[in-house]
């Protein structure tokens, strides 16, 4: 069970209040409900287990009770909606940076919202915007990953097990810092993302707007879209799914 007292002793100042639940349908839904009631920027909802955890594009998010961190943060950005497309990317940057800098894990950001370790997914970010508020949801595999071979957990790659309390404290501080800076400092954040991008330079296939595409990932544009060199020239894709490396 998540140790709230241990977390309180090391929690960053940036978060407002932690709402812990043994079980929820989705922490994003509960965070949105609290936001609708006026919850402040930095309010966090954390669940041991979700019965209907969701990912992007209708996918689910599976995690056995206590195996990971399943949380959502209410954000009331000081910047306009034009910048909301950056939030998932910079949140991923913050999370990956914690894994790299604090735990010496070779984490990589996989555009648009995954964090990978050794080519397997350890974390997904789901950003949902409504009215003047944004809910940022994070699913991070800490103790164990789901059985599917495409997933990995932090404790699969560290020599000493890490506590979920410590990781949440570090990740919350990093995510809030990166999000707060993303309107003004996105160029330098992009440079940091490029340095740890899983896709950069790789030949990829993906789906966008109902079409299958193939090309070489060349970077991320200022608006957060993926730059791909295709047979038809260099193109930018704001949305894509099912991104696979072909070599």
Site for ligand BTN in 75-114 (CB under 6 A): 113-114
If one asks whether residue 27 binds ligand BTN (CB under 6 A), the answer comes out as: yes
Cα 203 to its chain centre, rounded Å, is 23
Asked if 120 touches ligand BTN (CB under 6 A), the answer is no
Rounded to 5 degrees, what are φ and ψ at 14?
Answer: -70, -20
Q: How far is the CB of 113 from ligand BTN (least distance, A)?
A: 6
* CB neighbour class for 53 (10 Å; exposed up to 12, middle 13-18, buried from 19): buried
List the one residue from 2, 7, 19, 28 that touches ligand BTN (CB under 6 A).
Answer: 28
How many degrees, rounded to 5, is the angle at CA 50 between CA 95 and CA 88? 30
- Chain residue whose CB lies nearest ligand BTN: 124
141: contact with ligand BTN by CB under 6 A: no
Is residue 123 within 8 A of residue 93, CB to CB? The reply is: no
Shortest Å, Cβ 124 to ligand BTN: 2
For ligand BTN, the binding residue among 12, 20, 49, 55 (CB under 6 A) is 55
Distances (CA, A) of 102 to 94, 138, 170, 234: 12, 19, 9, 36
Q: Does 126 bind ligand BTN (CB under 6 A)?
A: yes
Residue 9 within binding range of ligand BTN, rule CB under 6 A:
no
**Minimal distance, residue 114 CB to ligand BTN, in Å:** 6
Measured distance between the N- and C-terminal CA atoms of the chain, rounded to whole angstroms: 41
| Residue 173 backbone phi and psi in degrees, to 5 | -60, -45
Residues lying near ligand BTN in the complex (CB under 6 A):
26-28, 50, 53-56, 59, 61, 70-72, 113-114, 124-126, 137-139
């Amino acid at each position: 069970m998540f140790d709230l007292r241990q977390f309180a002793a090391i929690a960053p100042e940036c978060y407002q209040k932690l709402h812990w639940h043994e079980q929820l349908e989705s922490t994003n839904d509960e965070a949105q409900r609290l936001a609708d009631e006026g919850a402040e920027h930095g309010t966090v909802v954390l669940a041991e287990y979700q019965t209907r955890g969701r990912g992007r594009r209708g996918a689910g998010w599976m995690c056995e009770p206590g195996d990971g961190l399943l949380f959502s943060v209410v954000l009331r950005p000081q910047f306009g909606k034009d910048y909301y497309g950056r939030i998932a990317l910079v949140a991923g940057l913050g999370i990956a940076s914690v894994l790299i800098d604090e735990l010496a894990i070779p984490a990589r950001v996989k555009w648009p919202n995954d964090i990978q370790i050794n080519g397997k997914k350890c974390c997904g970010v789901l950003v949902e915007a409504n009215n003047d508020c944004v809910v940022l949801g994070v699913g991070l595999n800490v103790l164990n990953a789901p059985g599917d071979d495409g997933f990995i957990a932090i404790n699969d790659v560290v020599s000493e097990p890490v506590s979920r309390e410590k990781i949440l404290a570090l990740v919350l501080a990093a995510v809030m810092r990166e999000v707060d800076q993303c309107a003004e400092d996105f160029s330098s954040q992009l440079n940091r993302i490029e340095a740890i991008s899983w896709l950069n330079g790789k030949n990829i296939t993906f789906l966008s707007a109902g079409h299958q595409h193939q090309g070489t990932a060349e970077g991320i544009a200022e608006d957060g879209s993926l730059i791909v060199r295709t047979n038809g020239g260099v193109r930018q894709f704001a949305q894509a799914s099912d991104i696979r490396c072909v070599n």
